[in-house]
Structure formats: structure tokens, C-alpha cells
Chain A
């Protein structure tokens, strides 16, 4: 157990060192941005946001049922990063973006992020605190609330980046399909990701859910983070292969 903990700490420290190193390099090489693997969902995102602005309708950004302080905190933070980047453009629409969550703390962070966006644009008088809202406090009530939101709030596009169970994910995407509203969706659970692959127009698979900052904002520390993840994925892959070989040889 002690060895496992030390290995865990070593892994985290190595990850942190790689992240800091690659971020430093990415900041220095700002003139030569890295070429990223194509993710269709992020490529078409600006079109969806543009349509929302041009048609004077809203963009719906959902953090799902992710809660701050729970095991899905990181997913909520990934959603907040995308919210921060996307709402800067979406806030130019006549109707402000609507943000939904199932957690009070995540709602407060979303309100704060939206407030900062309007403040940066010198448009604080257009800021409406109820634009970031708790749609339902339990997973199923959250999913039920989202079924009518697309029509009621005149939504032009939906982005889901957060935790979501099968029921709420499919209810939300189905509501989007019925209203012919484009849906970009990614969740942190593989079985929900499989559902979203079928139901969403633009699904995010695997760790793509956490790559919004690098793809949308080209943020140096997010680009560095992607590189660190790639290096560690190779190391873990090699460790798994080595483990299989040693186990097969009976050692």
C-alpha cells in the first residue's frame, strides 16, 4: 500500500512537471502554434455559436449533473472553461446564453464566469444572473427540465460538457433533435459517451471532453496539458504491455 501511494505521488509529480514544462514551451512558441488532431465537434462549434448570434437566439451550455466538490469536479471545471471561452462570443447575441447545471456551487461559478465575460465587454447592464441556473437538483429532474428548455428559451445550439447519466443525456439530445437544434455533447462516463455518439450531432469521445481550452481558446497551459497527457499515455501503455508480458511469462 505504501509503495502504491508513493508511485501515485510520483505519477502526479511527473505529470505536474511535464504540464509545467510543456506550458512553458507553448508560451515561448506562441508564434508557431501546435497542429492539433481534428475534432469535428470543436471545428463546427464556432458555426453553431455564430448561428445563435446571427439569428438572435440563445446558446444553451450545460454542465450536466457535475458537482463541485464531488468526484466529477474536474468535468465541471472543463465545462466552465468551455463556458468562459464560448460565452464571450455568444454574449453578443440579443439573448444571453443560458447555462444549466444541477449543482448550486457549479451554478455560482457559472454566474461568475458569465459576469466576467460581460464585464470584459463593458456590457454589465445586459448581464442577467438567472442566465446561469439550476435546472433540477436531482439527475432525473434535471433531465426532465431540459426537455422543454430548447423550445421555451429559443435555443439555437446546445453544448453539454459535464457529467450526465444515460436518461438525462438522451432526453436533452432528443429535445434538441425535435427542435432541429445542433447538439455538441461530451460526458465523463464511457457508457454515456456511447449514447451521445448515437444521439448527439457532434459527440465528444474520451478525453476530448477535457480538451476544450486547447481547441477553442488555444490556451498555452491547455496545449501543454494535452502534450503531457500524450506522453503519459505512452508511458502507461508501455507499462501495461510490460505487465502483460511479465504476467504471461509467469514472473
Chain B
């Protein structure tokens, strides 16, 4: 009984807050606008709390891995030391002369530029090799008209989007008012269908997003409990 009441209350709050925010965006009613601003402010505050919750969860999961010596526990040491180190640096920063205070203190900037950006860039650099490998695997795994077309278009796109080597002829075809070249034609053949396809995908994604939101607003989906 108590559970049903809790669920009912949660549903009323969720639907009410959703409707006020939605109508506050579309309608020029001062009261709705004020309420919407208040709710969005609370949501931002909760998002900040969620970061803390996430950090604590990260610490708990890796502490458990470390104490039980679960596979990969060695990496957990670095995660825990990194997390506690960054927290400690930010707590101590105001007391160290010349480091500064707040999120943009010198210690944070050093950590961000020397560690996070460097490691992130190194990891992102590997993406290219993984992609080439994945393209090769795709042809072995799912050979079909669609996959072959995909790979051909990907190769043509790479050719026309990278600088054109002077050794390869690029004749003027006389297409368009200024006389387009072979490369212009290939670029158009690649980019126009790609843009059209991407817009089609975006349209479908947008409809999916709105439908998901409306299901929550109509209390058909209740991710906050049954």
C-alpha cells in the first residue's frame, strides 16, 4: 500500500514537473516561466550531486575489486589513487601559495593538460587503427551489398577529403558555372547523399527522442519505479 502511494506520488511529481517545463518553454506565461526556471535550477543542482554519487560509486567498485583481488585489480589501484589524489589537490590548493583556488587552479590545469589531455589524445589516436581493422573485419564477417557499398564510399570519401596529390590528374570537367574538377564531382557524389542520409537518420532519432519523452510525460514509462 505504502509502495503504491510512493509510486503514485513519484508519478504525479514527474508528470507535473515535466508538463510545467514543457509548457513553460512553449507558452509565454510568466508563472510557468518562473516555475520552469526553478525546476531546471533544481535539476542542475541534482546533476552536481549525481557527479558525487558517481565518484563514490567508482571508489566503492574499485575498492571492492582491490580487496577481493578480482581480475584487473591492479588497475583499480591507479583509479583510486588518481581519484583521491585529485580530491586532495583541490582541498589543499587554497593553502599552497601561488596555486590559486577554484576549479581553474594551477594544479588542476596541470593535471588536465599533462595527464588527461595527453592520455586522451593517445587513446583517440588508436581509434584510426581500430577503425581500419574494423573495416577489414566487416567485409569478412558480413559480406553483403550494403557493407561493400559502405566500404567503397568510405574509401572514396577518404580520397576526396584528404589533400589531392599533384601526381594524380584532376581534369576540369566543365560542370557548373566555374567548371568543376573530377575531385569536385567525387566530393559531391559522396557528400550530398551522406548529408541527406544523415538528415534522415537525425529525423528518426529526433522522433525517437520525443516519443521517449512523451511516454514518460504520459506516465506510460516510469523509469523512477513501478
Chain A interface residues (CB < 8 Å from chain B): 2, 5-6, 8-9, 12, 15-16, 19-20, 23, 67-70, 73-75, 77-78, 80-81, 102-105, 107-109, 112-113, 116, 130, 133-138, 140, 143-144, 148, 151-154, 166-167, 170-171, 173-174, 177, 188, 190-191, 193, 195, 197-199, 201, 205-207, 209-211, 213, 221-222, 225, 228-229, 232-233, 236
Contacts and interface: CB of A to CB of B under 8 A. Distances in A.
B207 A229 contact: yes
Contact of B221 (A81, A105, A153): A81
Nearest to B132: A198
A174 B217 CA distance: 37
B27 A108 contact: no
B214 A207 contact: no
Given A74-B210, A193-B201, 4 more contacts: A75-B209, A191-B198, A199-B138, A207-B207
Interface string B49-68: 11111110110110010000
A133 B53 CA distance: 10
A137 B47 contact: no
Which applies to chain A's interface (DSSP): helix, strand, loop or mixed?
helix
Contacts of B209: 74-75, 188, 210
Most A CB within 10 A of own CB, among B28, B212, B226:
B212
B217 A232 contact: no
12 contacts: A19-B215, A67-B47, A104-B52, A104-B57, A154-B71, A198-B131, A206-B200, A209-B208, A221-B215, A221-B221, A229-B211, A233-B203
B205 interface: yes
